[in-house]
Amino acid sequence: MADNGQDMTIDETKQAAGQAILELTDRFGFDALAAGWLYDRPTDTWRYLLVTQMLRSEGPRWIYDRLLRIFQRYHLPDGVSPLDIFVIDEATEMAAFGKPLFAVDQDRTIPGMRMFVTQPITVNEFVVTDGFVAFLRRVPVELRKNHRNPARRFDKTIQKLAA
């Protein structure tokens, strides 16, 4: 796929890996509001982003501690490290995903990822990277008020994992 003359592709392995990570986190009740691969063109790196309201309510340490316990038991797909996974707040989401965030319809993101170019611009106080994002999920903002914070359920399933 190309956009504005810039190459914008994601191979099937990475697509499948992204889907597997999302399914794994869903199985433990993480219930990400949005998830996707973000490609950063200047550094030629991929980041897997999970958007959750738990960042604000519980903090990143609480979240990563639990995610790590999952990843130790159920290995991440080949070629993906826990260091590639970034948990972000809804307030930071637009900065990471850029403006197209508002135009994405969740039902059309799977199967066949929806891909959007991001440009090196500043949105509010955040710098949006030059690259693109491949969405696996994105719950529209207007539907999010119906989504309960999954922290209690997520914590419970992780406790069971340890037992």
By the criterion CB under 8 A, which residues form the site for another protein? 43, 45, 55-62, 64-65, 68, 72, 81-83, 86-89, 91-92, 95, 124-127
Q: Which residue, 33 or 109, has its beta carbon nearer to another protein?
A: 33
Report residue 80 CA to chain centroid gap. 14
* Residue 73 beta carbon to another protein: minimum distance, rounded to whole angstroms: 12
Instruction: Please report how close the Cβ of residue 78 comes to another protein at its closest, in angstroms.
Output: 14
Pairing of strands 85-88, 45-51: parallel
Q: Which residues contact 111 (CB under 8 A, 6 or more apart)?
A: none
Which residues, 6 or more positions from 71, have their beta carbon under 8 angstroms from its beta carbon? 82
Question: Do the beta carbons of residue 52 and residue 63 sit within 8 Å?
Answer: yes
Of 47 and 138, nearer to another protein (C-beta) is: 47
In the complex, what is the shortest distance from the CB of residue 54 to another protein, in angstroms, rounded to a whole number?
10
